[in-house]
Structure 1
Amino acid sequence: MNILVTGSKGQLGSEIRDAAMLDGGLRFFFCDLAELDITDRDAVVRMCERDGIDVIINCAAYTAVDRAEDDADTAMRVNRDGPGVLAECARERGALLLQVSTDYVFNGESSVPYRECDEVSPLGVYGQSKWEGEELVRRSGASYMIFRTSWLYSAHGNNFVKTMLRLGAERDELRVVFDQVGTPCYAADLARALMHVLERVEPGVNYAATYHFSNEGVCSWYDFAVMIMRLGGLGCRVVPIESSEFPAKVTRPHFSVLNKGKIKADWGVDVPHWMDGLERMMRAPLARGGASRGDA
């Protein structure tokens, strides 16, 4: 099985690369923007034909949530049009597309974990662009699986954990919102889940499914920051604040816990608790980065 991974230098793409080194049964081709613009249909077709691609894992995304409000054209091109191009090429080749999406397709007003079938109501340009990308994939006629995730972090790239570690070493006190609740997702655990699914897909089956994956458990960004300081051995005090005290261009979901029952039932995926994932990430060598929140 020949697998193309786009956005391979991002958090999830990097973790898939690490996981691939431990699995000799699958053949991976990794590319980032410098090697492939996923909105360039001719370029995608050429690469897929050259490497005999059977599966595409699309990790390429515009994830700067606030910046997307001022750069909607780019966000839509990458998050909507790109998946549409990949889905068309997958359909023509008879390949399978794994599309990574986000909790931002929901408005955060639920009080129970979101299921895949729940009504969407995207927040801001970013959430809308990811939802429209999902819809293009669904309407393409390609074999696909969409995986929504949340609060993604990794030893690679820019994310909340690395930002907290850096700031916690520089400051005596940090103010972090406590009224936004969700579940962190260690990108390495999502990468392992995708590998688990790929090892079990059946040739010739036309898949059409949406799944949710983050780690288990529930916390606020404040709780998350407190645990990061504790595991990092940092004495920085974390002070809980309300979202209204932390102005942003886009309202983040106040509740974005994802229900993982479907992926566990369909594929037997094991979902570790978020504290377990964080402990394992903290033991990993940190790659460069650490200047952003790392929204999924």
Structure 2
Amino acid sequence: PPLCLRVNTAQTCREDLLADLEKQGLPARPATVSPDGIYLDGNPGIHELTCLRDGRAIIQDEPSQLVAHIVDPQPHEVIFDVCAAPGGKTTHLATLGGPSCVVYGGDIHEHKLRLIEYNAQKLGLKNVRTLLQNGCTIGQKYAGKADRVLVDAPCSGLGVLRHKIDLRWRKNPSDLRTLPALQRRILDSASQCVRPGGILVYSTCTMNDDENSRIVAEFLKNHPEFHVENATQWLPVPGHEGPFIQLLPQRDSLDGFFIARMKKEG
């Protein structure tokens, strides 16, 4: 797959970075859906890209870039990214929300938190914090503390097989049966962190309904205080009318990805 960059709009804009890449003789084009995405038609190697070294861009696939726009962070808000490492979505949320917005990136592994901190520092973001926290129990400690919560859940990864070819041999049918239980626990706990009137976004990089729409449907049934919103109102995706965004490689020419946006009654 072509290399996809996300422009760090806290430092530059997509038009300026495209012009700079052209000056360097690197063919590049804007992403179709993400307003922050750039594709490099020829991959010179990441060590040749000055924009990665100086923090004007970060490597992030286009579907993954859509999530922060669906969360739609606002100034002065507190945002939780529950399963955050290595921090691509965390730093995107912090960029879109602006310096007065504080984004907490959580993970169960301490060494992964250092990846979030590294990426935030690389991009010059001072509004990112990290939480050493289990996503299955985070709601017990931080109930009602966040204006918006993102659950980018651990999943089977079937939508990104072209990036992670080894998944074909490492995944087996039992994963598709055990992962939904974990996803439900994380979503249930993370939802407790949402303040009344706040937003909860659930996403995965898979195409398996049991990990996507059925998880959300069961959650909404058990949590009547939440209702689903049409995600495409925050970021239009060609061919999608909502309420969920389910990208399919054969239809959308993008990695398989799922995004649902829900609001808690205020």
TM over 0.5: no
Q: Which has the higher contact order (CA 8 A, sep 6+)?
A: 1
Task: Name the TM-score class by shorter chain.
Answer: 0.3 to 0.5
TM-score normalised per structure 2? 0.40
Instruction: State TM-score, norm by structure 1.
Output: 0.37
Greater fraction strand: 2
